[in-house]
Structure 1
Amino acid sequence: MASIRQRHTFIVHSQFRDTADTLNLSKQKLTLNDVPGTRQDRLIVTTDHLKERGILQAVDNIRIEIVSRENFAHIAPFNRQLAWGTHINVVPTEIFNWNGFCKWIQSSVNSEITCIGQESFIEVPYGYYLHSPHTDSSQLLSYIENNYSDAEQEIVAEMEEANTASYISLSLNKNSTDKKTAGRLIAEAYWYYGRWTKTVKAGGPDHRVEVGLLGKIADDPQGELTYGGILAVIGENEQFVPTLFDFSPRHRSVYQPAVFYPDFRQPYGLHPKHLTTVLGDISPPRKKISVLDVAGENDDIDVSEATTSCGLYGYYVLPNFIFVDKYQVSDLADAQAGGIKRVVGIWGETDLEIPVWMVEKWGSTMLVELIPPEQPLLPGIMQQLDIEIPMHSRYEVPRWNTTVVKHDMPWPTLFWACNGSAESDMTTSPFDSNGLGHEYLFDPGTMFYYLHPNQTISNPVNKTHLVTNLNIPVVPLETYKYVQPWTVIVILLGCIWIFYKAFLGFRRDGGIRNAPGVKPDKDKLEKKGPKTE
């Protein structure tokens, strides 16, 4: 097996036509001209080809993902959804150096990421996780390009082109059950749409370059996807090879029309309420069965049957300026209120008191199971689900000339998690994605069906970013010269008033002789004698 494997996958749209004007294949190269569709590039290399392997040798599993802030479609079979930003998941070995790892992150991933050691990460069930709002992937791509010891021009060009992708990832899993990827460094880039004009050249003797142009043939919502198209190994094939294959994807989008949009209830204050509204057919994923299966009669009409063992979940990424009170959210779940059925887990910084400048960790994450609406008798009925979660903002550093601090919060990820069918083997998918992340919190055989975010409803001005804006109140610094002295004056006046009232009461009650707990002087009482008229 080649130590370098490079794959270009194009999911072509219906208007694509395979003609000599659009595709030109020779033994040493393939030229594409204005090919419309979704694209994924994948590069797999052995660590022997890397100049720097120190950090990678000290991890069992690592996955770095950079997701664009822009809303982009997740075209099958690339349906996995993540909040925008940089996601760093790591399972370290016993000899792991956290300080060195943070330096590597800032030098190789993004210098703007705040990382000072293990305390910057949150501990999750599978390892450690760090999220950053930065979405610039140029530094990570430069690391891949410069760290590749046989830096062929084709690899360099691919890394430069990937800077425009909507999604970038770099991963290494030494314990993977897939022999093709175990212990190998995998770089991936995803573009949800484009019209592609490019030339793909053959690699060296130990470098396999594959190109596939595929289209979806059939789709069983609970079972397999079927794709067909043409493949070519550049440097081996002079003609395209037709292909037809099926597989069970781990990640899908829901088939019924259901969208969601989040926002904070106003006024925000220091304790904002986060509301996510889901609209549409909020029913579990369904599989199509013919009436023949139901009544034993031959009929062409199809009906739908809900899949079993499905739960609706919400996964929240909460930066350090905001947090949830786990006891408060658990009380909502106990009362089956706010659309919350169960709190699966809250990981990260949940201290209720510390201000934002004392928070060491990047923030926290939360996974909750939601209460779906009562299922209608027939599919396609429009429904609404409101998920309201109380949150709390941290005290911010005082600022000049403003009374609020503006923050951007990622949208939550909403999905159905369903038990996979017994006969499905998702590991056989050439596009399988089962790395570190929210999917690791479920059983390995779980299938994920993602709801569609609808940014047009929640933010008609900014339709391209899945961003929830939050304004947190803050003390303006220019008022300090008035606030501080007046605060001292008010405190002093309050103390004087308290002492004055205490002194008056002291005198009225006869001073210390009649104070509570003081015994009267019997000799003086006897000498005083009875009172006479």
Structure 2
Amino acid sequence: MRQRITFFHRNEHGIEPTSLEVGDRSISGPDLVVAREHRVTLAVEELPAELQELLRSSNELYIRWSTPRALESLGPWTSRLPPGLHAFYTPQKGEVLESLRLCTQLRTVFGDIDCSSPAESFTTLPNDRFSHSTAYQYFHTLKSLSNFTTYVEQYACVPKEKCKERVEELANAVSLDLSYDAISHVVKITAVWPEAHQTLSINSHPDHRTEVGILTPDTPPHLEPHELGVTGLLTVLGEDTKPSPVLFSFPARHKDTESSFSSTFLKPWGLHPTMQLHIDSSKPPSDDVRCSLHAYLTLPRFIFADKYQLNDELFLSSKNLTALRYMTQPVDLEAPDYAMKLWGSSVLLELQPPAGQDAEPWTAEIPLHLRYMSPAAGGYTNIDVPSPAVFWACTAEDGTQFPNSPFDRVNLGYDGLFGPRTSFWHVKPAPEGDGSLMHQIRVPVLDLDMSKWISTGTSAVVLLGFAFVVFKLLSVYLKTGYGSQKSAKETQKKKQ
């Protein structure tokens, strides 16, 4: 097992190298005001047996979780996703998609996940555009990692009390990534915490390689526009007797812009809610390359976008939208929520910023539609819809490469819809109210308290209709049927 712990601080929160104490296999020092990343790299053989079996049947498996809290990013961890649990999967050749193994493990590790099998619950990603996309995608509105921490404590920590303390810290993490591919044959688990006061006290196991970095932004010589420069101190526990100064740069595929956005649903909600995006600037991050603004949505199956509606150019222009660039296929426009097994759909929309108003706030509107949902007491139910990720996609200059970097984050769903030389400049979410990136909508459904009267009334109407039909048939029979013919013959005989 290998560990890499990285602390990233602002320049004004620097630390004196002399204040750090490096022991045989430990490092300690004063508290820091930093963002933190903790990455653990494991061989497949170090995992529980059921996970080993799953990974050996997978060509690629990437799981990404993002917090529903809106927090400011710092350092190289600027990539963003809609809040919730994202899974991207490519099976080994010949693997049966109807296998329940993957969904069973997702439920075991993350809790109550509505997933039956990749064939039924996952959606297909396009593989005819760019080869760096996985084959299948899944999403669930998971709000916390409580079940994951319980799972890790059970399999990795007993009876190590220090390990339990570390695992419990995941409750404050803003993102969690689990990555596996058949080429590297290792699993990387990466968690990121937001900027806060952090205690610097790290101990390493003799059989584990642990690398600790304390970094801050800097500008090395010959820094390219698409790169991020850092400087700081690096220590390998058990090998170094003191921190080593470092200064380096690396390609940064994801960066933050200076602008922000918020999203809301226009009232009244009804069965056709409209999501409105408020963006405080239409200025692109760079004037030297072509950039276009996008919104990426992951919509649970109870809500969807209509691709036919979003293919009307005049309609799109009226909503400050340019085009629908991608939508999960197929999307059933008529099926009720309770009759579906697919997780939902993902949508990539290109927005249309107003021209000539670089510093002016503006809005864009995304029309959505709700499915009929299961009945509930009171006639209403609450649903959670994640806020989208909003970013500028900029084509890098010719010759620009984005090789693997120490902090690169790939397989996010939307990055597979762009070319490999695309950089992403993220618009920071700034939600109103409680700061949550989840929208709660109150949806009208069949009222269970009234449904018995509906059933009784329907049965009564059916019986009355049946009785009316029988009455009319009997009336006709009595007037023109067998009985009336017999009576007419008897009358004719009497006349004769």
TM-score interval w.r.t. the shorter chain?
0.7 to 0.9
Q: Say if 1:492 and 1:317 are closer, same or farther in 2 by CA, change over 3 A.
A: same
Is 1:12 the counterpart of 2:20? The answer is no
CA apart distance, 1:493: 8.5
CA distance in 1, matches of 2:365, 2:465: 41
SS at match of 1:433: coil
Match of 1:474 among 440, 445, 450: 445
Q: 2:288 corresponds to which residue? A: 307
CA distance in 1, matches of 2:461, 2:32: 73
Q: Say if 1:13 and 1:428 are closer, same or farther in 2 by CA, change over 3 A.
A: same
CA distance in 1, matches of 2:197, 2:304: 42
Is 1:415 the counterpart of 2:391? The answer is yes
Q: 1:358 corresponds to which residue? A: 339
Q: Note if contact 1:248-1:424 (Cα within 8 Å) is conserved in structure 2.
A: no
Sequence identity percentage: 28
CA distance in 1, matches of 2:147, 2:94: 26
CA apart distance, 1:469: 2.2
Is 1:403 the counterpart of 2:379? The answer is yes
CA apart distance, 1:142: 4.9
Q: Say if 1:218 and 1:498 are closer, same or farther in 2 by CA, change over 3 A.
A: farther
Q: Note if contact 2:64-2:412 (Cα within 8 Å) is conserved in structure 1.
A: no
Q: 2:312 corresponds to which residue? A: 331
CA apart distance, 1:193: 1.6
CA distance in 2, matches of 1:161, 1:22: 25
Q: 1:252 corresponds to which residue? A: 255
CA distances 1:490-521 after superposition (whole Å, capped 9, x unpaired):
78889999999xxxxxxxxxxxxxxxxxxxxx
Q: Which deviates the most, 188-197 or 415-424?
A: 415-424
Q: Which deviates the most, 333-342 or 236-245?
A: 333-342
Q: 1:453 corresponds to which residue? A: 429
Q: 1:99 corresponds to which residue? A: 100
CA distance in 1, matches of 2:180, 2:19: 36
SS at match of 1:336: helix
SS at match of 1:81: coil
CA apart distance, 1:111: 2.6
Q: Tell me the C-alpha RMSD between the 2 structures.
A: 3.1
Q: Note if contact 1:22-1:34 (Cα within 8 Å) is conserved in structure 2.
A: no
Q: How does 1:144-159 map to 2 (within 5 A)?
A: 144=152, 158-159=166-167
Q: How does 1:20-99 map to 2 (within 5 A)?
A: 23-52=20-49, 53-97=52-96, 98-99=99-100
CA apart distance, 1:6: 0.7
SS at match of 1:75: coil
Q: Note if contact 1:409-1:469 (Cα within 8 Å) is conserved in structure 2.
A: yes
Aligned length: 460
Q: Which deviates the most, 315-324 or 120-129?
A: 120-129
CA distance in 1, matches of 2:191, 2:422: 24
CA apart distance, 1:337: 3.5
CA distances 1:162-203 after superposition (whole Å, capped 9, x unpaired):
34312111111234xxxxxx2210000100122111421233
Q: Note if contact 2:88-2:411 (Cα within 8 Å) is conserved in structure 1.
A: no
Q: Name the amino acid aligned to 1:260.
A: F
CA distance in 2, matches of 1:236, 1:64: 33
Is 1:341 the counterpart of 2:322? The answer is yes
Q: Say if 1:160 and 1:489 are closer, same or farther in 2 by CA, change over 3 A.
A: closer
CA apart distance, 1:412: 0.8
CA apart distance, 1:362: 1.3
CA apart distance, 1:425: 3.3
Q: 1:392 corresponds to which residue? A: 369
CA distance in 2, matches of 1:154, 1:48: 23
Return the structure number with greater relative CO, CA threshold 8 A, min gap 6.
Answer: 2
Q: Name the amino acid aligned to 1:201.
A: N
CA apart distance, 1:61: 0.8
CA apart distance, 1:284: 1.5
CA distance in 2, matches of 1:249, 1:145: 34
Is 1:173 the counterpart of 2:181? The answer is yes
Q: 2:486 corresponds to which residue? A: none
CA apart distance, 1:329: 1.2
Q: How does 1:102-501 map to 2 (within 5 A)?
A: 102-107=103-108, 109-118=109-118, 119-125=120-126, 126-144=134-152, 158-175=166-183, 182-205=184-207, 207-218=208-219, 222-255=225-258, 258-280=259-281, 282-286=282-286, 306-332=287-313, 336-347=317-328, 350-375=331-356, 381-384=359-362, 386-400=363-377, 402-456=378-432, 460=433, 462=434, 464-486=435-457
CA apart distance, 1:48: 2.9
Q: Which deviates the most, 20-29 or 488-497?
A: 488-497
Q: Note if contact 2:8-2:216 (Cα within 8 Å) is conserved in structure 1.
A: yes
Q: 1:294 corresponds to which residue? A: none
CA distance in 2, matches of 1:134, 1:482: 37
* TM-score normalised by length of structure 2: 0.84
CA apart distance, 1:334: 7.5
* TM-score normalised by length of structure 1: 0.79
CA apart distance, 1:452: 1.3
Q: Note if contact 1:420-1:446 (Cα within 8 Å) is conserved in structure 2.
A: yes
Q: Which deviates the most, 28-37 or 227-236?
A: 28-37
SS at match of 2:31: strand
CA apart distance, 1:348: 5.3
CA apart distance, 1:92: 0.9
Q: Note if contact 1:315-1:368 (Cα within 8 Å) is conserved in structure 2.
A: yes
CA distance in 2, matches of 1:411, 1:22: 43
CA distance in 2, matches of 1:49, 1:69: 31
Q: Say if 1:216 and 1:151 are closer, same or farther in 2 by CA, change over 3 A.
A: farther
Q: Note if contact 1:285-1:307 (Cα within 8 Å) is conserved in structure 2.
A: no
SS at match of 1:33: coil
CA distances 1:44-91 after superposition (whole Å, capped 9, x unpaired):
122232342110111111111222211122212100101111111111
CA distance in 2, matches of 1:165, 1:254: 22
